Amino acid sequence: MDKNIPFVQEVLGPYADVIALEPESITPDQVRDADALIIRTRTKADAALLDGSRVQFIATATIGFDHIDTEYCQTHGIAWSSCPGCNAQAVCDYIEECLCELSLPKDATIGIVGVGHVGTLVAQMAERKGYHILLNDPPKQIGKSIGEIADKCDLITFHTPLTKDGIYPTYHLCDENFLRRCKFDAIIINAARGGVVDEQALLACGHPFVLDTWENEPHIRPQVLQAARLASYHIAGYSIQGKINASAMCLDAFCKHFGTPILSIDKKVVSLHAEAGDSAPGWIQRISEQLKNHPTQFEQLRKQYKLR
């Protein structure tokens, strides 16, 4: 398992042989004799990793699962699970902090692209603050067209999965054509998945933007980083409660798959990870300055980040 997933090793340790590794150390040799993997986005669970292994179950402690080759898993009889909604409130809090830093006028219109767990919470939060809201989610048949979002919104925030196939692919959904249609000063926020927003198009079009997720993480483009109004190292969903939720969902899926008694995370386990991080007003600005001052340390900063 990925050693950066809290609580799981302490809970599973008495019942299974748990090997906790940095994500870069989760290699074919390491997983060959494993029955299960518990991972994050940094581990690509595909043929290159899984061929020849006895893995029968994969849990990712994340909402997204584009790092799992689900077709491979299906054809090879490998069950998998993700954690939809686990950190939705944390991401919503991140967006709220961004709104405070960006000082939007009270009559601003906010476009929310993707109205799942996170998008729904963001819409509710923004409405409470008095902003006008436009929603877009074609798969759910909710809201306005993506063109109307571009035409009318002062800030647009993306909360979709990353998909390249199907009727509604989201890869480079925010591309140059979309941005050229936006108001010249419309702010773009991507706290969903790197690749939903075309970073080269952001630079070309000159819109102010906020990025928490990036193309080619952790090797982010310095010119994109320096141009960002606010920037962070993929930690929008990093809160203590969000991590508890994700780890608990992974444990639940593990126990159901292997038919073991349901294992829960108790307060003693949480106390091992209970040192909270910076959540005082202005925290997103402080993180942004930290990343811009240390652009090559994306992954190290992410690993060292103390949960809010």
Which residues are catalytically annotated?
Answer: 193, 217, 234
Selection from 11, 58, 13, 15 nearest residue 34 by Cα: 58
Strand 79-81 vs strand 57-60: parallel, antiparallel, or unpaired? parallel
Query: How far is Cα 210 from Cα 267, in angstroms, rounded to an integer?
Result: 35
**What count of Cα atoms within 13 Å lies in the side-chain half-sphere of residue 41?**
23
- Using DSSP's 3-state secondary structure scheme, residue 127 falls into helix
Query: How far is Cα 179 from Cα 150, in angstroms, rounded to an integer?
Result: 7
Q: How many CB atoms lie within 10 A of CB 14?
A: 8
Cβ atoms of residues 236 and 91 within 8 Å: yes
Selection from 80, 117, 78, 141 nearest residue 237 by Cα: 117
Q: How far, in whole angstroms, is CA 26 from its chain's centroid?
A: 20
Query: How far is Cα 232 from Cα 209, in angstroms, rounded to an integer?
Result: 12
